[in-house]
Amino acid sequence: MILAQTLGPLEIILVVAYLAVVGYLGWLGYRHTHTATDYMIAGRKAHPFVMAMSYGATFISTSAVVGFGGVAGLFGMGLLWLTFLNIFAGIFIAMVVLGNPTRRMGHRLDAHTFPELLGRRFNSRFIQVFAGLIIFVFMPVYAAAVIIGGTEFITAAFRIDYNVALLVLSAIVAVYVLAGGLKGVMYTDALQGTIMFLGMATLLIGTYVSLGGVVRGHTELTEMGSQVFAGFRGMGHRGWTSMPEFGWGETKYNLWWIVVSTMVLGVGIGVLAQPQLVVRFMTVKSKRELNRAVPTGGFFILMMTGVAFTVGALSNAYFYQHERIVGRIASVTEQAEVIVKKERDAETRLSCRLLHVDRNGDGEVDINLIAAGLGNHAKLMPAAEVTELPDGRVEIRPRATSFTRALVRKGDAWMLNPDSIIPTFVTSAMPRWFGIVFLLTLLAAAMSTISSQFHTVGTAIGRDVYAQIVPLREGASSQQGTHVVRVGMIFGIIIAVIFAYYARGGYIIARATAIFFGLCAAAFLPSLVGGLFWKRITKAGAIASMITGSAVSTFWVVFVKASEAGAIGLVPKLTGGKSSLLADYPNWPVVEPILIALPLSALVAIVVSLATRPPAKSHLYKCFGS
């Protein structure tokens, strides 16, 4: 009923056709999934194009498009450094430097999962179980971030309740990932990656058209520096075409450390140790296939992140200079308290007058806008310009930035939600037909990544934890292990949906992504790189490194990083209200854990390995050959 009211027949047909094709590809993967090798690593026979598009579609999700695109709407084009690092580290270093050694060792050791690769390289069941537990416990947080991204757009496009959209998206993904294994996932990824590429290319062109051209759009954005939200200016925001102010020891440098340590380095380095991406290298037959995948993967990442971050920043120019909304004012909220910052036990609210607009003439509210700030908050909020038209309707120029335009309803309250910036921009600036194209783009981005995440979660708990602690009984078929994997996926889906239900707001998509990527880098990257290239690294060194990296990362998130430590709530109780143990030392509370945990993890791996007995030559021969 909701879809029928919001979409036309052609649009509904397109959505149904897309879901039907995805279902068919999942079924095709199911038909060709006969063994555990088929289910977990696609039989090691993936085509280079399929592998590249699957890698890219798994890498780039609604987290990148909606979450980080929204952050670019807040903080500007400095996020394009993440695009550079995504291509250099996530594609070039990952595929050219790490890809072939990973593929070769994975084949030699007959490893089916990332934890199994580490466990067999170091001849340690503990490493495999420990890595599997990290993935099973923490990956649902990243999966939730991706789910939130897809849900935000469905909510904006269909004007349906966030919780309904959340359950619908989760159910769609759950059905086909449970059926097809990695073959089904990779088949659908290739299709979805192609849809994502075309959708983002169209979005870039449409954005510049709506702004009057490339030069005009960027010029207007540069000239908008004075419109930066006051709270962001105090953190070092110098406009959407400039990097934040750099320095150390004062809060005015906080934004530089947020952008660089959290957004750029946290994700840009963390991608090298993503379990769901590393396993892709073990799906191809030879180095040649990996090398052939580099140009495709690199250009794909450029189009996905480069476009999302550019459009996110440029959306400010559109909302402030170009947006005109024609309709009828259905109602007015004379005084509303809008949440601009939310922590566990405290909220920062600004008083505003709100307009609720019926744009379609159907009596339903389509758009909610801030008309003006009230009292002392007047200078902090936009002042919408309203012009009455001869036919009784009004034309409204919101004169907002992306942040103050992204107004959403959360329960009985109103909230400025950065994760709604891209969905709001698309529904406002783009033609209606593009809304359905972009919906398919985001569905593709969400489903491709989430499916791989849940596949990784399932194999982590099924093969890497359960099968190691409770070995399959003698004579049992591989199907028994596959059933455990599917049960693990179901648990992962449930955890992710619960997190997505409670964690909306405060650019949570980007924050959750950076936390998981940083944790993986600190826990896994030294052992992975050492295991592939340094024969002297020992089992003790790898274990010590993994424990150090994961422990330091967890400690930093729980006790030091203010946005997360404050939300968890333990530090405020211990310190009488402070959000970080280092709250009195500027900049430390916004530094991402990866900057501390990864160097310590690498140092521990080296020191402990040099202090312990070298691995047996027979084991090294098994791993590396002659």
* 75 and 6 within one domain: yes
Beta bridge partners of 227: none
CATH number for the domain that contains residue 614: 1.20.1730.10
Any domain includes 201: yes
The parts of the chain modelled with pLDDT lower than 50 are 1-5, 34, 36-44, 181-183, 475, 477
Residue 495 lies in a domain: yes
HSE-CB for 21 with a 13 A CA cutoff:
14
Whether residue 409 is contained in a domain is answered as: no
Task: Judge if 281 and 377 occupy the same domain.
Answer: no
Q: Which helix (H) or strand (E) holds 360?
A: none
Q: Are 508 and 558 contained in the same domain? A: yes
Q: How far from chain centre, in Å, is Cα 102?
A: 24
Host domain of residue 537:
2-318+433-624
Q: Provide the domain count of the chain.
A: 2
Cα distance between residue 140 and residue 157, in whole Å? 25
What is each CA distance from 201 to 90, 274, 304, in whole angstroms? 21, 27, 8
User: Cα separation of 209 and 117, whole Å?
Assistant: 49
Q: HSE (CB half, 13 Å, CA atoms) of 364?
A: 9
The predicted pLDDT at position 156 comes to 81
Give residue 531's Cα distance to chain centre. 28
Q: Is residue 452 part of a domain?
A: yes
3-state secondary structure string, 40-67? Answer: HHHHHCCCHHHHHHHHHHHHCCHHHHHH
Final residue of a domain: which of 399, 424, 458?
A: 399
Residue 391 per-residue DSSP state:
T
Q: Are residues 395 and 452 in the same domain?
A: no
- Tell me: do 116 and 252 sit in the same domain: yes
Q: How far apart are CA 150 and CA 144, in angstroms?
A: 10
Strands 325-342 and 394-397: antiparallel
Taking alpha carbons only, the member of 539, 558, 535, 536 closest to residue 547 is 539
Neighbours of 385 (CB within 10 A): 12
Please tell me whether residues 533 and 463 are part of one structural domain.
yes
The confidence score (pLDDT) of residue 196 equals 80
pLDDT at 601: 98
Q: Quick check: helix, strand or coil at residue 329?
A: strand
Tell me: the pLDDT tens digits for 450-486?
777 887 888 888 888 888 887 655 545 455 666 788 8
Q: Are 332 and 313 within one domain?
A: no
- The DSSP element (H or E) to which 372 belongs, if any, is strand 367-373
Strand-pair partners of 367: 357
Q: What predicted TM-score, i.e. pTM, was given to this entire model?
A: 0.89
Residue ranges in 109-235 assigned as alpha helix (H)? 114-121, 125-158, 162-211, 214-222, 230-233
Judged on CB neighbours under 10 Å (0-12, 13-18, 19+), 356 is: middle
pLDDT digits (tens, 9 = 90+) for 356-393: 999 888 888 989 999 999 999 998 899 999 999 999 89
Asked, for residue 411, whether it belongs to a domain, the answer is no
CA atoms within 13 A on the CB side of 51: 31
State residue 15 phi and psi, 5-degree precision: -65, -45
CA distance 508 to 310: 20
Residue 420 lies in a domain: no
